[in-house]
Amino acid sequence: MVYLIPEFLLVLVGAVGLVIAFAPSRPRLRAYSLVGGLTCFGGAVVAGYLAYLATTDLGAELAATAPGYLTTTLALDPFSRVFAVLSLIVCGLTFLLSKEYLETRMQDHQPELLAVIAFAAAGMSFLGSARELITIWFSIELLSVCGYVLAAFTKDDERSAEAALKYFILGTASSAFMLFGLSYVYGMTGRLDLVGIMEATAGDGIGVLLPTAAVLMLVGFGFKVAMVPFHMWCPDVYEGAPTPVTAFLSVGPKLAALAALARVFSTAFPHEVARVAWEGVLFWGALITMTLGNVVAIKQSNIKRMLAYSSIAHAGYMLVAVLVTLRSDLALSALAIYAFAYVFMNLGAFAVVTSFSNRTGSDALHSYNGLARRSPYLAWAWAFFALSLVGLPPTAGFLGKAYIIMAAWDAGATWNSPMFWLLVVLVLNSAISLAYYMGVAGRMFFKPPAHDDPVPVGGGVGTAIGLCLAGTLLMVLAAGPIIGAIQNGAVFALR
Question: Does residue 114 form part of some domain?
Answer: yes
pLDDT at 387: 93
- 54-69 average pLDDT score: 64
Q: Does residue 99 contact residue 458 with C-beta atoms inside 8 Å?
A: yes
Q: Residue 417: inside a domain, yes or no?
A: yes
Strand locations in 228-374 (E): none
Amino acid identity, residue 83?
Answer: F
Q: What was the pLDDT predicted at 306? A: 93
- Give, as one character, the DSSP assignment of residue 458: -
Print the domain residue range for 414: 2-490
Q: Give the pLDDT confidence of 390-413 residue by residue, as tens digits.
A: 988 888 899 889 999 998 888 776
Examine the pLDDT at 256 and tell me if it is beyond 60.
yes
Is the pLDDT at 494 greater than 60? The verdict is: no
Residue 364, φ and ψ in degrees, nearest 5: -70, 140
pLDDT digits (tens, 9 = 90+) for 276-300: 888 888 899 999 999 999 999 999 9
* Stated pTM of the model: 0.90
What pLDDT is attached to residue 495?
46
Decide if pLDDT at 242 tops 60. yes
Dihedral sign (CA 416, 418, 420, 422):
positive
Question: Quick one: average pLDDT of 99-124?
Answer: 82
Mean pLDDT of 20-26: 69
Q: What is the pLDDT of residues 113-151, one digit of tens each?
A: 888 999 999 999 888 888 888 889 889 989 889 988 888
Q: Is the pLDDT of residue 226 over 50?
A: yes
Is position 495 within any domain? no
Average pLDDT for the chain: 84
161-165: long-range contacts, CB 8 A cutoff, minimum separation 24: 161/240, 162/236, 162/240, 163/233, 163/236, 163/237, 163/239, 163/240, 163/241, 164/237, 164/240, 164/241
DSSP string spanning 230-263? S-THHHHHHHHS-HHHHHHHHHHHHHHHHHHHHH
Question: Does the pLDDT value for residue 431 go beyond 90?
Answer: yes
Residue pLDDT, tens place only, 161-204 = 888 888 888 888 888 988 988 888 888 888 888 888 888 877 65
Q: How many domains does the chain have?
A: 1
In sequence order, the 6+-apart residues with CB closer than 8 A to the CB of 223 are 170, 171, 174, 230, 233
201 lies in some domain: yes
Q: What is the mean pLDDT of residues 230-254?
A: 88
